[in-house]
Amino acid sequence: MKEIVVISGKGGTGKTSVTGCFAALAENAVLADCDVDAADLHMLLAPEIVKRTDFVSGHEAVIREDDCTACGICREKCNFNAINLTEEGKYRIDPYGCEGCKVCVVVCPVDAIDFPENLCGEWYFSHTRFGPMVHAKLGIGQENSGKLVSTVRREAAVKAKELDRDMVIVDGPPGIGCPVIAAVTGSSLLVVVTEPTISGKHDMKRVLELAKHFSVPALVIINKWDINPEMTEEIEKETLAGGAHPVGRIPYDRDFTVAQINGRTLVEEKTGKAVDNITTIWEKVCRTLR
């Protein structure tokens, strides 16, 4: 089984649009949306959820107000200012401010603070018109997205093995942080989507450094290349200098937006000047995996 991870150095480069097109062109794949902080692949693929599973990670302190003596020690010792005094004269922990360090639990003289596991979000197994999909939703203000990314990848690999699929296509998160590292490590191939701007070039270089660090081969797609041909050439030179390979250019195409409004991928609409470019790029990606 091969795993293709589509990533970008910054948001808004067209990464998810490209991933959706790859999903439409693949013949025997499991899909995974690992952009758990801002998941949107479901908007193109309209998954039908078959199974929901809670994602639990870390702990969160909770004061039992009936047992609290309002001594204030917990508030004094909290380094994150997450404990507030209520109008009733009791202390309450702000769930969005708590970092789960457990100091308040340890210092409470009457053991009035519980420390349950933290429900951070959910992950799903779904059916789409292009095949099985594993995706997730992180709760508002919740962390541990890297761990949730690893969960989605692991479950997608399990489903691929169970269903005898030969490929997993991952819509990865943008940037170079923890979620990206969780999505990249151990994958077969990275497909980096960038755009011909100064920030696009800068952030692509950082992603290629990350790929090189983890010894994962990388291909680069330049989306909307025709809005700045000179910068496109610079990016292709930087790609080669970074040990990766340019795999194709995608022209600016308003039909991308039209397809998204219709809840479909561009290759399904079969309109627009970019369809042939994406199809050719996908063929090159498949050849690279062989």
Instruction: Give me the mean pLDDT over the 16-22 stretch.
Output: 96
Instruction: Give me the mean pLDDT over the 34-50 stretch.
Output: 93
pLDDT tops 80 at residue 272: no
- Same domain as 215, residue 75: no
| pLDDT-based confidence at residue 21 (cuts at 50, 70, 90) | very high
- Same domain as 232, residue 271: yes
Q: Residue with structure tokens 């696009």?
A: 200
Task: Give yes or no for a contact between 74 and 107, defined as CB atoms under 8 angstroms apart.
Answer: yes
pLDDT at residue 118, as a whole number: 87
pLDDT at residue 42, as a whole number: 94
Q: C-alpha distances in angstroms, 169 versus 74, 147, 165, 175, 205? A: 47, 19, 11, 18, 23
CA distance 173 to 38: 8
- Same domain as 46, residue 13: yes
CA-wise closest residue to 55 among 143, 128, 159, 115: 143
- Same domain as 214, residue 84: no
- Same domain as 104, residue 227: no
Q: What percent of the chain has pLDDT over 70?
A: 100
| pLDDT-based confidence at residue 142 (cuts at 50, 70, 90) | confident
Instruction: Give me the mean pLDDT over the 192-219 stretch.
Output: 96
End residue of a domain, out of 115, 145, 161:
115
- Same domain as 146, residue 38: yes
pLDDT tops 80 at residue 143: no
- Same domain as 125, residue 84: no
CATH of the domain at 94: 3.30.70.20
- Same domain as 223, residue 188: yes
pLDDT tops 90 at residue 234: yes
CATH of the domain at 196: 3.40.50.300
Q: What percent of the chain has pLDDT over 90?
A: 84
| pLDDT-based confidence at residue 86 (cuts at 50, 70, 90) | confident
Question: Which residues are bridge partners to 128 per DSSP?
Answer: 131
Task: Give yes or no for a contact between 122 and 136, defined as CB atoms under 8 angstroms apart.
Answer: yes
pLDDT tens digits, one per residue of 150-160: 999 999 999 99
- Same domain as 82, residue 200: no
pLDDT at residue 83, as a whole number: 96
Lowest-confidence range among 16-30, 82-96, 178-192?
A: 82-96
| pLDDT-based confidence at residue 213 (cuts at 50, 70, 90) | very high
The rounded mean pLDDT for the chain is 94
- Same domain as 9, residue 74: no
End residue of a domain, out of 73, 94, 115:
115
pLDDT at residue 135, as a whole number: 97
Instruction: Give me the mean pLDDT over the 128-135 stretch.
Output: 97
Rg over CA atoms, the chain: 23
Number of domains in the chain: 2
What is the pTM (predicted TM-score) of this model? 0.89
pLDDT at residue 81, as a whole number: 94
- Same domain as 94, residue 172: no
Domain with 94 in it: 61-115
End residue of a domain, out of 87, 115, 143:
115
- Same domain as 156, residue 100: no
